[in-house]
Structure 1
Amino acid sequence: MADYPKERKPAGFPDFIHLIDLASETVGGKILFATDDFFAPAENLIKSDAPSFKAHEYTEFGKWMDGWETRRKRIPGHDWCIIKLGIQGIIRGFDVDVSYFMGNYAPRMSIQAANLPEDKLQEFPERGIRMGAEATSEEFEAIAELKSENWNYLVPMAELKPGNPSSSHNYFPVHSQQKWTHIRLNIFPDGGIARLRVYGAGQRDWTATDPKEPLDLVTIAYGGLCVGFSNAYFGHPNNMIGVGSAKSMADGWETARRLDRPPVLENDENGILLVPGCEWAVFRLGHPGVITQIEVDTKHFKGNSPDRCKLDGCILTTQEEEDMIKQKWDLPDHKWKPLLPVTKLSPNQNHLFDSLTLELQDVITHARLTIAPDGGVSRLRLKGFPSSICLLRPREKPSMRFSVKTGFRANL
C-alpha cells in the first residue's frame, strides 16, 4: 500500500490551463470505474463544456447536478473513480472544479496516476447510463486488478474551496516528467465535483514509428501545441490540432470579424479578395520533421470560413521560441520557409495540399498558419516524417504564454 500523503494547499492561478485537457471526452477520455454515482454520474467530470445549473430540476434520486455526486456515505471508506486518459502524456496540472456544488462539494480530494501498458489491461464492464447506483461486486473485482491504491500521488490530499458559485476552480500544479495513461480521483469522504481537467501535453514513442508511414506531426496527441496566435475570439487554435474530426464550429479555431475590412469588398484578377490584414496561429510540432502533406479543413464553417490561407515553417530552439513569445512572434520573414503558398479556401470542405518541402526536405520545428482576412478552420493536419534533429531541450515547465493582438478579445 502506498504511503498516505500529507495534506497541502492549492496553488494560485496557473499558466497550465492553456494546455490540453488530456482527460476530456472530446479526446477519448473515459470513466472506467466509480464507487458511487447516486446523484450524478462520474462521466460528467470529463465533459468538455462548462458546468451548468438548473435551479428547479430534480431527478427521482434528488437534485439534478452537472457533475459527479455520490450519496452521503454511511459506511466506512471514501469514494473514488478511475479515468482513462484520452491522450497519454505528461501532466502539468489539474483543475478540480466544484462550481454549483456549494453545500454538497467534496471537502477534500487527492489524485493518483499510473502508466499502464495496453496489453496488460483487461476489458472492464460497460458502465452505461448511471444514476442512483453504486459499483457492483463484479466491478470492484475487475478494477482491483489495477491495484490503483498503490499508484503514484500527483496531488496529495488537499482541501477544496467552493469560491464563486458559478466559478469555483481549485488548481494544482504537477511536477513530473513521466508519461501517464490513467488517473484515480479520490474524494474524502463523499460529495460532488463538477469537472476535472487534466492539463498537459501528449507524448509519443518516436522510436517506434514506421519510416514509410507519414504522421501528423502537429496533433495534440503527439505533443503538438499552439504557442502564439493573433485572435481566438470564438475558439482556440489548439482545437485545430485536436483528435478526430471536428464535431461543430465550437471544436475549431474561429476569429472575430476584422474591424479594418472595407465597406465594399472586391476581388483581384485571380479571384482573391482585396481585404487588408490577416489572422495567424503558431504551433510547435510534437517532433521536428519534414512536412509532406497539409490538410486544412473548414468543416462546419459554412458562412464564416477564411477566403484564403498560407502555411510557413521554421526551426527554433527552445530559447528562440521563448524569445518569440516575448516579442509576440515578430519573427523576421526570411526565417520562415513557405510550406503552402497563398491558397483559396472553400467553406465546409477538407482541403489537401502537397507541401513545398517535398523536394527541399526542409526540417521544421514550428509552423505558422495564416488565414485572411478572418474566419474559422476546424482542423489542421501536418503530415510528414520525424527527423533525428532535435533542437528543443526537455523543459520542466513548457512555455504557455500566448501573444494576442491588441484590440481583440481572446476566449480561452
Structure 2
Amino acid sequence: METSPEAEEPPNFLQFTDLASENVGGKVLFATDDFFAPAENLLKSRSPEFKADEFTEFGKWMDGWETRRKRMPGVLFPAGHDWCLIQLGIPGIIHGFEADTDFFTGNYAPRFSVQAACLQQEEIPEIAPRGIKIGTAATNEELESINKLKSDNWSVLVPMAKLKPGYVGKSHNYFAVSSQRRWTHIRLNIYPDGGIARFKVYGFGQRDWSTVEPNELYDLVAMENGGVCVGFSNAHFGHPKNIIGVGRSKSMADGWETARRLDRPPILQRDGKGALLMPGSEWAIFRLAHPGVITQIEIDTNHFKGNFPDTCRLDGGVLSAQEEEDGVVRKWEVKQDLNWQPLLSVTKLSAHKRHFFDGRSLRLRDVITHVKLTIAPDGGVSRLRLWGFAQSVLSADH
C-alpha cells in the first residue's frame, strides 16, 4: 500500500468527506492517555484555537489531543507509545489523512502511523462511554476490553512517518492512501507521546448494497451511503459536499454557500413569470452512491435567510467512470458533451425552508448515476436529499 507525504499543493482528497468528524458521528473509543487534552478534540470540525493565558490543573490548555511526557518504556501500556481508537462516523473508502499539529510546537507528536480495520458490530466488545476527561490514563480494565480487538494487528495504511511542528502555515501533514477496501475503525499511533490538534480521514462512504431491499427508498446522494461531490463552480463560503451530510445542517457553515456574483446588474428586475433577470448561475455535480431512479427530492435552505438562491434546477444523467474523470480534469467545462436530462425544472426557493418534490414535479424517471444542482443566481443551500430506488445501469462503467 503506497502513501505519500505532504506536497506543496493541498491534495485532491481534501474535497472528499471527513469520515471521522464529530459532525458525521465519528467518536473516540479508547485512548491510552488524555493527560493534558482529550482525544475527542481530534475529531472537532472547527479549526483549532489557542488561548495563551488558559491553564487547567494539569497544565496548559490545548485544543487537541495531548498526552503526558513518557519517562519509561512500557509504563502504563506495553506498546511504549500512545495510541487511540476511532470509530468512523461513516464507514467507507479512505483516500487520505490529515494530521494537523496547529499550535503544538514544543509539544507535538514527532511521528505517527495509522492502522485500520473493517469490523462487524458483533466483533466490537462492550466499551464504556469515555466522557470528556483530562489528567487521566486508560485503566487496566479499559485496556483489557479494547485489547479484544487486537488493534496492533490491524492493516497499516500509513507506516511510521515524521510530523512537522504546528507553526503557522506549516502544521498540516497530508498522507495519501491507495486502498479500495471499506474501513470502519482507525488506530492512530503517536511516537512516543505528545500532541496533535486535529486528525481527519478523507474518503467517501460505502454501503453494502447487496443487503438492501429493492423496493425500499434510499437517499441515493447521501454521503453516508456513498454519494460524493465531484465538481462545482464556486465554494467561497461553504463546500457543496456539505449538503449531502448527515442530518439537518447545524449552521450556514454546514452548507454550500457561494460568493455573490459580480455580474449581477446594479438594478434588479423580474420577468413576467417572477424570475430574476440576472445572468449566470452556480452549480455542483454529485455522483450517486448507487445508480437509481429518483422519486422524491428535498432541497433545504435551513439557516439561509438573507442569502438563499432565487431558483434551482436539477439535471440527471448516466456518466461512465471515464466521463467523470474527464469532467474532473477539465473542471466540467461547458463544452464537455454530457447527456444531462431535466430532473426538476427551474423552481422558486424560499428562505430557511425545506422544499419537497415528488412524482408530480419530477421529469426524469430513468436510472441515473449523477446529478447536477444549479442555483441562480447565487447563495446558499444546506441539504440535498434524493430518495429513490437503487437499480443497476448495464451501460454505465461502474
- TM-score for the superposition, normalised by structure 2: 0.93
CA RMSD after TM alignment? 2.1
Shift of 1:361: 2.9
Aligned counterparts of 1:319 and 1:356: Cα–Cα separation in 2: 33
Aligned counterparts of 2:278 and 2:196: Cα–Cα separation in 1: 48
The answer for the alignment partner of 2:14 in structure 1 is 17
Shift of 1:105: 0.5
Q: Sort the Cα spacing of 1:235 and 1:292 in 2 relative to 1 into closer, same or farther, 3 A.
A: same
Q: Which runs of 5 or more structure 1 residues have no equivalent in the other structure?
A: 395-412
Q: Which runs of 5 or more structure 2 residues have no equivalent in the other structure?
A: 74-79
Aligned counterparts of 2:161 and 2:396: Cα–Cα separation in 1: 35
* Per-residue deviation, residues 341-361 of structure 1 (Å, max 9, x unmatched): 011111000011025796863
The residue identity in structure 2 corresponding to 1:344 is K
**For 1:82-101, what aligned pairs fall within 5 Å after superposition?**
82-101=85-104
Shift of 1:390: 5.3
The answer for the alignment partner of 2:76 in structure 1 is none
* Per-residue deviation, residues 247-299 of structure 1 (Å, max 9, x unmatched): 00000000011111122222223222222211111111111111111110000
Do structure 1's residue 54 and structure 2's residue 40 form an aligned pair?
A: no
Q: Sort the Cα spacing of 1:308 and 1:15 in 2 relative to 1 into closer, same or farther, 3 A.
A: same
Shift of 1:336: 1.2
The answer for the alignment partner of 1:122 in structure 2 is 125
Counterpart among 194, 197, 202 of residue 194 in structure 1: 197
SS in 2 for 1:222: coil
**For 1:31-46, what aligned pairs fall within 5 Å after superposition?**
31-46=28-43
The answer for the alignment partner of 1:405 in structure 2 is none
Aligned counterparts of 1:355 and 1:236: Cα–Cα separation in 2: 29
Counterpart among 150, 153, 166 of residue 150 in structure 1: 153
Is the 2:164–2:170 Cα contact (8 Å) retained in structure 1? no
Shift of 1:230: 0.9
Counterpart among 272, 275, 279 of residue 272 in structure 1: 275
Do structure 1's residue 181 and structure 2's residue 184 form an aligned pair?
A: yes
Is the 2:341–2:364 Cα contact (8 Å) retained in structure 1? no
The answer for the alignment partner of 1:79 in structure 2 is 82
SS in 2 for 1:231: coil
Shift of 1:61: 1.1
Shift of 1:311: 0.3
Aligned counterparts of 1:198 and 1:294: Cα–Cα separation in 2: 29
Aligned counterparts of 2:149 and 2:328: Cα–Cα separation in 1: 42
The answer for the alignment partner of 2:112 in structure 1 is 109
The answer for the alignment partner of 1:221 in structure 2 is 224
Is the 2:254–2:382 Cα contact (8 Å) retained in structure 1? yes
Aligned counterparts of 2:105 and 2:258: Cα–Cα separation in 1: 35
Aligned counterparts of 2:337 and 2:178: Cα–Cα separation in 1: 37
The residue identity in structure 1 corresponding to 2:45 is S
Aligned counterparts of 1:360 and 1:226: Cα–Cα separation in 2: 21
The answer for the alignment partner of 1:262 in structure 2 is 265
Is the 2:98–2:174 Cα contact (8 Å) retained in structure 1? yes
Aligned counterparts of 2:4 and 2:239: Cα–Cα separation in 1: 30
The residue identity in structure 1 corresponding to 2:51 is K
Counterpart among 283, 308, 311 of residue 305 in structure 1: 308
The answer for the alignment partner of 1:131 in structure 2 is 134
Aligned counterparts of 1:81 and 1:334: Cα–Cα separation in 2: 46
Shift of 1:228: 1.1
Aligned counterparts of 2:61 and 2:176: Cα–Cα separation in 1: 31
Is the 2:343–2:362 Cα contact (8 Å) retained in structure 1? no
Is the 2:344–2:361 Cα contact (8 Å) retained in structure 1? no
SS in 2 for 1:285: strand
The answer for the alignment partner of 1:350 in structure 2 is 354
The answer for the alignment partner of 1:387 in structure 2 is 391
SS in 1 for 2:152: helix
Larger mean Cα displacement after TM superposition, 385-394 or 24-33: 385-394
What count of residue pairs does the alignment treat as equivalent? 389
SS in 2 for 1:129: coil
Do structure 1's residue 288 and structure 2's residue 283 form an aligned pair?
A: no
Aligned counterparts of 1:355 and 1:304: Cα–Cα separation in 2: 29
